Chains A and B, each alone.
Chain A
Amino acid sequence: MREVGIIGVGMTRFKEHWDSSLRDLFVEAALKALDDAKVPMIDSIYVGSMSSGLFVEQEHIGPMFAEYLGVKNVPAIRVESACASGALAFRLGYIEVASGLSDIVLVSGVEKMTDCEDPTSALAAAADVECEAFFGATFPALYALIAKAHMDRYGTTREQLAAVSVKNHKNGLKNPDAQFQREISLDAVLNSVMIADPLTILQCSPISDGAAAIILGPLDMVRKMTDKVVKITGSGVATDTIALHSRKDVTSLDAVKLSAERAYKMANRKPKDINVCEVHDCFSIAELVTIEELGFVEKGKSGQFVVEGNTEIDGKIPINTSGGLKSKGHPVGATGIAQIIEIHKQLTGNAGERQVKDAKIGMAQNMGGTGASSVVHIMEVV
């Protein structure tokens, strides 16, 4: 396998884009990435989208995007793994370059959610539709079931859950691409509208529009084209049961743990080597359980770990410096790519006010559903 690196990145701001369609969003992000990379052509496109069908009733988006980007006849493949679609598209593009089959690959993600009348039901399609969603279990409800069990077993508190949102909004304030660029207080989080107990609306990622794109190439080419070379050193994917209730322990996310183990092994790294990490905080509890599964903190101790400031930008392991899904926004298919763009910014020293000092090794974790799929990448400055 060839070594692979990042040549260029680009994304739209994540927000409610009332003036832009699904294809507009993709093209805006892809053009930014192409301009950043300064490559003359691309060999293929991968695009992650959870559900262009349910959100805007458009399928077959691969060829449509190739055409609208002005690269007619290029292979263009849509990738779907619910909320992990973006990172999975990244992985497939990575594999294609590593294999030698292609040199320059555009990997991307997009979602246009605000045109949809019932996004809650569309999102519920990432759960087991017949055995969970059918009985009224929304996505917030499923994560609330995890949160309740975590609280029961480990004594995790409502305040500890809320602290995740407070921290992520503090970071999002420093990110010009974030949907919500404002701080929120612990009281505001705790007293906001209840969605599914114990998760209040300020612990749920928003409905967003947006797209993100990255240009990948073989490392020898990347060395000639960029000043700070970022190499993909680890890539891991794992799956778990589609229904949360089919798992032995509802406070664990086995796919997250396994996908991380696979990425750590490939990169020959350990949790303590990671300088900065983006995780899939679709709900506050998701960030807590995920940092346990990634090995940053002992099982059951994540709440206290966050409250003590260990996950702040200047903490032991900075988590979601971009603002995370909560503050940056969560246009589902775009999220996994945007997470990797944040790590790329951190590793190349382009993260502005939210820059982590001396970040050399970064990780991004993206998951689908209630953790039925998880994708982890490790990137390093080489």
Chain B
Amino acid sequence: MSSPKIWRQRIERYRLLGQKCKGCGKVYFPKRLVCPECGGRDFGEESMPETGKIVTYTTVYVGPKFMENDTPYVVAIIEFANGVRVTTQVVDVSPEEVSAGKEVKFVFRKLKDEGKTGVIVYGYKAQLV
């Protein structure tokens, strides 16, 4: 992890900002330079809705090192109300309460830190509504 990288990612991680292709209207999150649908390179900024629904989910019992104190946790693919999909955790919930199709809202949460004196990284997670 490095501070410039975290700063660069503030647009998607801290502001939930994506983009809309001016050629075909498809919405992307996070931003990219070329639209894979139409080849367009002109985009307008687009805010992601703060709600979505669960497409598929799993409960992770063995995580990577940086999350070994967080297991078990729920990871899901979530579809925003505008059709864009992301992968993130569903928090403040027990795994039995989660199922495909359930509505969620996005919340701002800590994701990881660089140790005692390093940068704390935040981003989006989801909560059942």
Does chain A bind chain B?
yes
Footprint of B on A, CB under 8 Å? 117-118, 120-121, 124, 130-138, 140-142, 144-149, 152, 193-198, 243-246, 250
Q: How far is the CA of A60 from the CA of B66 in the complex (A)?
A: 28
Report B-chain residues with C-beta under 8 Å of the C-beta of A148. 56-58, 100
* Least CB distance, A308 to chain B, in whole angstroms: 27
Task: Name the CB-closest residue of A to B28.
Answer: A246
* Least CB distance, A231 to chain B, in whole angstroms: 37
* Least CB distance, A374 to chain B, in whole angstroms: 18
Query: Which range contains the number of B residues in contact with the other chain?
Result: 20 to 34
Other-chain residue from A131, A133, A250 in contact with B56 (beta carbon distance below 8 A):
A250
* Least CB distance, A97 to chain B, in whole angstroms: 34
Q: How far is the CA of A123 from the CA of B85 in the complex (A)?
A: 23
Q: How far is the CA of A133 from the CA of B77 in the complex (A)?
A: 13
Query: Is B4's CB within 8 Å of the partner chain A?
Result: no
Contact A197 B95 (CB under 8 A): yes
Q: How far is the CA of A196 from the CA of B61 in the complex (A)?
A: 6
Contact B58 A145 (CB under 8 A): yes
Given contacts A145-B77, A148-B57, contact A136 B89 (CB under 8 A): yes
Query: Is B17's CB within 8 Å of the partner chain A?
Result: no
Query: Is B45's CB within 8 Å of the partner chain A?
Result: no
Seed contacts A194-B59, A250-B56; 4 additional CB < 8 Å A-B pairs = A137-B60, A194-B61, A245-B85, A245-B87
**What are 29 A-B interface contacts by the 8 Å CB criterion?**
A117-B65, A118-B64, A120-B64, A121-B64, A121-B65, A131-B30, A133-B64, A135-B89, A135-B111, A136-B63, A136-B64, A136-B67, A136-B73, A136-B75, A141-B75, A144-B60, A145-B77, A149-B55, A152-B100, A194-B61, A195-B60, A195-B62, A196-B58, A196-B59, A196-B75, A197-B58, A243-B87, A246-B85, A250-B77
Contact A135 B61 (CB under 8 A): no
Contact B58 A144 (CB under 8 A): yes
Report A-chain residues with C-beta under 8 Å of the C-beta of B73. 136
Query: Is B51's CB within 8 Å of the partner chain A?
Result: no
Task: Name the CB-closest residue of B to A250.
Answer: B56
Q: How far is the CA of A144 from the CA of B61 in the complex (A)?
A: 12
CB-based A-B contact count at 8 angstroms: 98
* Residue from A120, A132, A137, A138 whose CB has the most chain B CB atoms within 10 Å: A137
Task: Name the CB-closest residue of A to B9.
Answer: A130
* Least CB distance, B5 to chain A, in whole angstroms: 9
Contact B56 A135 (CB under 8 A): no
* Least CB distance, B25 to chain A, in whole angstroms: 17
Other-chain residue from A118, A135, A146 in contact with B87 (beta carbon distance below 8 A):
A135
A-B pairs with the 3 shortest C-beta distances? A144-B58, A245-B85, A149-B56
Which residues of chain B from 81 to 129 have a CB within 8 Å of any chain A CB? Answer: 85-89, 95, 100, 111, 123, 125
Contact A132 B64 (CB under 8 A): no
Contact B87 A137 (CB under 8 A): yes
Query: Is B42's CB within 8 Å of the partner chain A?
Result: no
Query: Is B50's CB within 8 Å of the partner chain A?
Result: no
Q: How far is the CA of A68 from the CA of B25 in the complex (A)?
A: 55
Q: How far is the CA of A222 from the CA of B112 in the complex (A)?
A: 56
* Least CB distance, B90 to chain A, in whole angstroms: 11
